[in-house]
Each structure stands twice: as C-alpha cells, then as structure tokens.
C-alpha cells in the first residue's frame, strides 16, 4: 500500500511536470510578443511583479506566513542566488534573446539544459557521472550547436553567430545553476516558499536595472500585457513552483529531464501562433539533443 501511494504521487508529479513544460513552451511565444515593446529588464520586472502578486497570498495561506522560519545566513544567500540566476540572469537573456531569434530556435537551444544540470550535479555534488552519460553530451551539444548556427556549422568556426542564439544559450546555463541551487534550497524550504522568495530577490535585482533602462515601462499593448500575464502567472508562479516540487520528489536530474519536452511545445507554439517555419536544422537539432540527453539520463 505505501508503494502504491508513492507510485501514485510520482505519477502525479510527472503529470504536473508535463503541464509545466507545456506552459514553458508557451513562454517562448509570450516573450516574442513582449520583447519588441520594452527593454528586457522592464519586461522581466513586470513578469515577477505579477508572479509575486499570485505567489505571496498563496504562500501566506498554505505556509502560515511569508517569512521562512529558522533560515540561516547560508539559506538567505542561496535564495539570493536563485533570484540572481533563475530570475535576473535567465530572464534578461531570455527576453532579450527572443527579441532577436525565433521561439522554436530558442526552445531547442534551451533543451540542452538537462545535460548541463547533470554535469553540474556531478561536479559540485559528486553525483555519479558515467561514461554513457558523458557520451550523451556529444550529440546533445552537436544538436544545440546546429541550431545556434542555423544549419551552417562553419559559422561556429568563423564566429558568425547570431547574438540572439548566444543569449538563449546563456539561458540554459542560468537555468542549470537555478536547478542545482534548488537541490540545496529545498533541504531548507518548501517549493512554494522557495519560489516566492526567489521572486522577491529577483524583483530586488530587476527593479534598479529596469529604472536604469528607462522603465519600468507601462505602455504595453493588450497583447503585451497578455504576454506578461502568461509569463508571470503560468510561466513563473505555476511553472516554477511545480518544477521545484518535481525536484523535491524526483531529484534535480530527473526533473530537469522533462525539459526535453519543452522544445516540442515551443516549436509547436511558434508554428501555431507566430507562423514560424520548422526548418530542417530545427528537426535535426532537436533529434540530436533529445538523443544525447536520453543517453545522459540513462547513464
């Protein structure tokens, strides 16, 4: 009976992570809509204002307050690092990058994230890295490189790469750091409390940056505000909380594996809503990335 209960909880967690990936696939489209209307810091600031407005009352009700009880200085530093990596760094690169490249392209590049998470866990937490796992980095990295170079591998040697693609690659690094740091934070706090305070710290970093950028801007179109609402409520408040719940129940590496599905939703969303083409290098790159990450996970 306890085994059946645990199996049911794990299946629910997997289902919620699948829902999270669908929402995150849609964030690439939302960010493409928002990016032309303001600077990246301003857009990211409003994203987390909306997320905090949703998360704060929920945390207050479910956790019995907003203050994380008994958190030591190391815990506060970890929360600040979550804000710096997953909120500040990731969102600047994400929104800025999606102003310069397509949603489908960005979603495939970000799919390399689970491999970076796996490598980081091995380097910093001494989790076992196998030869099979390392072997998976070859096709995964090749797939990302193919998409970054838009099907022209020679551009990697000449340095003729798009700035948007490079910014999205930086997103994957920021998100891997966020996932790895989450392994430490979740030993101290719940997923909901962790996400809420990561948003608070993200706002503390993004606010001054948005002011220096000339914002926070208010003159968004209806489509722009709808995009920000999607980013803040579904992509952040719901998505980040469910993702950390997945890390707590399945582990950082297994939860990060679900990010393999995000480019599928991202490609479909870009095709359906933005009329983006599905070039051969996107399909080939996605296949290489997913094959490589599969080796990483089974390794």
Per-residue pLDDT tens over the stretch 255-294: 767 777 777 788 788 888 888 777 777 777 777 777 776 7
Q: What is the pLDDT of residue 3?
A: 39
Instruction: Domain count for the chain, please give it.
Output: 1
- List the structure tokens of 184: 């430490």
Over the stretch 109-146, which tens digit does the pLDDT of each residue have? 777 777 777 778 777 777 777 777 667 767 776 776 77
pTM over 0.85: no
- What Cα–Cα distance (Å) separates residue 36 from each residue in 41, 102, 144, 180, 238? 13, 13, 25, 32, 25
Over the stretch 165-213, which tens digit does the pLDDT of each residue have? 889 889 889 988 988 898 889 888 888 898 899 999 999 999 999 999 8
**Which three-class secondary structure string do you get for 129-176?**
CCHHHHHCHHHHHHHHHHHHCCCCCHHHHHCCCCHHHHHHHHHHHHHH
CA distance 286 to 102: 15
- Calculate mean pLDDT across residues 82-97: 92
Confidence at 161, pLDDT banded by 50, 70, 90: low
Q: What is the pLDDT of residue 269?
A: 85
Domain that holds residue 166: 2-298
* DSSP 8-state code for residue 88: I
Whether pLDDT at 90 is above 50? yes
Over the stretch 10-37, which tens digit does the pLDDT of each residue have? 788 888 888 998 898 898 899 899 988 8
Whether pLDDT at 229 is above 90? yes
């Amino acid at each position: 009976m306890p085994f059946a209960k645990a199996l049911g909880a794990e299946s629910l967690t997997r289902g919620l992570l699948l829902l999270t990936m669908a929402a995150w696939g849609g964030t690439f489209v939302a960010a493409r809509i928002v990016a032309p209307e303001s600077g990246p810091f301003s857009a990211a600031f409003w994203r987390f204002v909306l997320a905090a407005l949703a998360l704060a009352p929920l945390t207050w009700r479910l956790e019995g307050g907003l203050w994380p009880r008994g958190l030591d200085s190391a815990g506060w530093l970890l929360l600040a690092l979550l804000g710096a990596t997953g909120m500040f760094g990731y969102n600047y690169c994400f929104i800025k990058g999606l102003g310069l490249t397509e949603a489908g392209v960005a979603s495939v590049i970000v799919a390399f994230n689970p491999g970076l998470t796996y490598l980081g866990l091995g380097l910093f937490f001494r989790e076992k890295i196998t030869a099979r796992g390392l072997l998976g980095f070859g096709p995964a990295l090749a797939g990302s490189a193919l998409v970054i170079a838009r099907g022209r591998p020679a551009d990697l040697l000449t340095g003729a790469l798009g700035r948007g693609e490079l910014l999205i690659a930086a997103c994957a690094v920021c998100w891997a750091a966020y996932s790895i740091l989450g392994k430490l934070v979740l030993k101290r706090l719940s997923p909901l409390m962790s996400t809420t305070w990561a948003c608070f710290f993200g706002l503390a970093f993004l606010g001054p940056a948005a002011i220096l950028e000339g914002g926070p801007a208010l003159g968004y179109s209806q489509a722009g505000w709808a995009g920000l609402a999607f980013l803040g409520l579904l992509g952040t408040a719901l998505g980040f909380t469910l993702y950390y719940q997945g890390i707590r129940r399945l582990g950082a590496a297994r939860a990060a594996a679900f990010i393999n599905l995000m480019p599928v939703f991202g490609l479909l969303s870009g095709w359906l809503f933005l009329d983006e083409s599905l070039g051969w290098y996107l399909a080939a790159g996605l296949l290489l990335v997913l094959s490589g990450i599969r080796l990483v996970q089974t390794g």
